[in-house]
Structure 1
Amino acid sequence: MSAAGWFIVLLALVFANVPFLNQRLFAVVPLRLAEPTGRRAPKKSAWIRIGELIVLYFVVGALGFMLEARAGNHFDQGWQFYAITFSLFVVFAFPGFTYQYFVKRH
């Protein structure tokens, strides 16, 4: 596998975890969330995180497509390719998901 291929895999690993590691939209835009109740800080909803995950999947896909086209060997892909890569992207998001929803904070 070329360096560009490994770069895309590492980029996918990082981008898949971005929605779960902070309370900002795409780790940049602060959101106006509901007022906190009690002492708990407001959190992004799961739907926003899923939306971010889907958008970031397409961003990584577009970057991969650009690198592949720049190398000069673009290959047509069927729906199976996209189903497998999205599934892999969701698996890459598991560490961030685990940290956000399963790790208890004191």
Structure 2
Amino acid sequence: MTASMYILLLLALIFANAPFLTQKLLGVIPLAKKHFGHHLLELFIGFGITAALAYLLESRAGAVHPQEWEFYAVVVCLYLIFAFPCFVWRYFWHARNVQ
């Protein structure tokens, strides 16, 4: 794997976990209470940025290969697996200790 692929994986890990680390929407807009829908919106936006960057890197390396729906299903599942550590921290550990 090239350095750009390692950077892409690192950015995907950061974008997947960022929604669960702060009470601010997109890390900028402060909210009184951040609901699960806000987290899903941020995950979707982060996935879009990651996918666009991956497409850009692939197009710069050569021809972009056409993908079927199975590829996208696997990529979404892997992105959600990347988000799992901060999801657990936010909803299972952090919520238990805040009273």
TM-score range, shorter chain: 0.7 to 0.9
Within a 5 Å distance, the mapping from 1:4-43 to structure 2 comes to 4-31=4-31, 33=32, 43=33
Residue of structure 1 equivalent to 2:68: 78
Which residue of structure 2 lines up, in the alignment, with residue 63 of structure 1? Answer: 53
Q: Distance in 2 between matches of 1:18 and 1:61?
A: 16
Taking only the aligned residue pairs, the percentage that are identical comes to 43
Q: TM-score if structure 2 supplies the norm length?
A: 0.88
1:105 aligns with 2:97: yes
Once the two structures are superposed, residues 8-56 of structure 1 have per-residue CA deviations (whole angstroms, 9 ceiling, x without a partner) of: 111111100011000111112223x3xxxxxxxxx30011101111121
Number of equivalent positions = 96
Amino acid at match of 2:97: R
Mind listing any 5+ residue stretches in structure 2 that lack a counterpart? none
Paired with 1:11 and 1:19, the residues of 2 have a C-alpha distance of 13
Separation in 2, partners of 1:71, 1:28: 34
Asked which structure has the greater CA Rg, the reply is 1
Return the offset for 1:5: 1.3
> Structure 1 regions of 5+ residues with no counterpart?
34-42
**If each structure's helix is expressed as a fraction of its own residues, which one has the higher value?**
2
Runs of 4+ residues deviating >6 angstroms: none
Normalised by the size of structure 1, how large is the TM-score?
A: 0.83
Q: Which amino acid aligns with 2:44?
A: I
RMSD across aligned positions (CA)? 1.3
SS in 2 for 1:93: helix
